[in-house]
Amino acid sequence: MDIQLMKKFLILGAIVFGFNLLSASDLVVGNLAPDFTLPDENDSLHTLSDYRGQRVVVYFYPKDDTPRCTKEACGIRDSYGLFDENDIVVLGISYDDAESHQDFILKHGIPFHLLTDTDKSVSKLYGTKGFFFPSRKTFLIDKDGKLIKIYDKVDVVSHARDVLKDFSENK
């Protein structure tokens, strides 16, 4: 297969599967996390800077109620007591609408807010914007609003445990 044909397949794959292969985020550990305001499953607005003074997990995921996204959310759900005990706020973000988030939360007993990025603006800001779905990526933010960890690759099975460990190491 020649190089030009391979490039076309890669670009087509990026478009079809929503992977973020063509743009990179300028976000760097130690910098302030970009502020945003998005509605949750109840159409209540959440602004990241309103959580200053708390540690925050912002995780982007492709789609409600798909196998890997469900594993990731349920893993956090199963460890949510530890997140709560450690004053860690969890915010999940996808392109799904409020109704989809409500269904997902009810079906799986998700105890944290899922935010709706239907115009993909926050996903673009965080370098997770894909054509159909955002890339699976997580950002840990300290009490001062600074990025302390960026997960470019997420193991959906161990993600909650990894996040808790990384926050405990960055108190």
Q: Which residues participate in catalysis according to the annotation?
A: 69
**Residues near 59 by Cβ (< 8 Å), separated by ≥ 6?**
72, 76, 90, 91, 92, 93, 136, 137, 138, 139, 154, 159
Residues forming beta bridges with residue 38, ordered by sequence position: 46
> Residue 78: which H helix or E strand, with range?
helix 67-78
DSSP string of 121-140, one letter each residue? HHHHHTT---SSS---EEEE
Q: Cα–Cα–Cα angle for 31, 35, 40, nearest 5°?
A: 135
Say which residue the tokens 């530890």 belong to. Answer: 82
